[in-house]
Amino acid sequence: MIQKLNLKRKNRYPYMTIKRIYVSMGISLLFFSICGFAFSDNISNLPFYELSILNGTSIENNEFTALERVDDICNGLPYHDMVSHGYGWVSLGAQGSTWYINRGSCFQCSGCYTVVITQWDPTIGLNIGKYGIDYTVNYPINITGAALYNTQYYGVENSNLMPGFRFR
């Protein structure tokens, strides 16, 4: 029996792979061209001399001076050093009102005694969630925790970091 010889040259790259490469190159080109136009429009509308004030020194007349920025937040540190102090409860009203945070994590600054109570524990990598802050405490709290009433500083943070605070 005679066999037919297959003399067709096999394509080194399958058709679908080449098609996918061209499609991804086209999408990338479109994305970079849109981003390029967006950034170039914003930059061209903002003259260099209209930059914001850094540390009390304005940048004018196309001059640039590198300034070291250190915010003294707590006794010479650029952050509050928050140490764990057990459980915490936060109420936005007086005693007897509903809890904003029920049995959260309580922290106190080792330098200025600021108290922060978070819904979750940021020291183990969880998001902070709801939080309440009391800046008026000027004494060490009990190691088992605290309850804050009439809290004026509160909010929600969807990461385990808060600007100006370091939790441990």
Q: pLDDT tens digits for 27-81?
A: 766 666 665 544 444 444 444 444 333 333 334 445 555 555 555 678 878 888 8
Report residue 48 CA to chain centroid gap. 28
Give the residue, 24 or 114, on which the prediction is more confident.
114
**What's the pLDDT score for residue 44?**
44
Averaged pLDDT for residues 19-34: 67
Res. 20: pLDDT tops 60: yes
Report yes or no on whether pTM surpasses 0.75: no
Q: Which distant-in-sequence residues (6+ apart) come within 8 Å of 128 by Cβ?
A: 118, 119, 120, 122, 157, 158, 159, 160, 161, 162
- Rounded to the nearest integer, the mean pLDDT of the chain is 72
99-134-128 Cα angle (round to 5) = 65
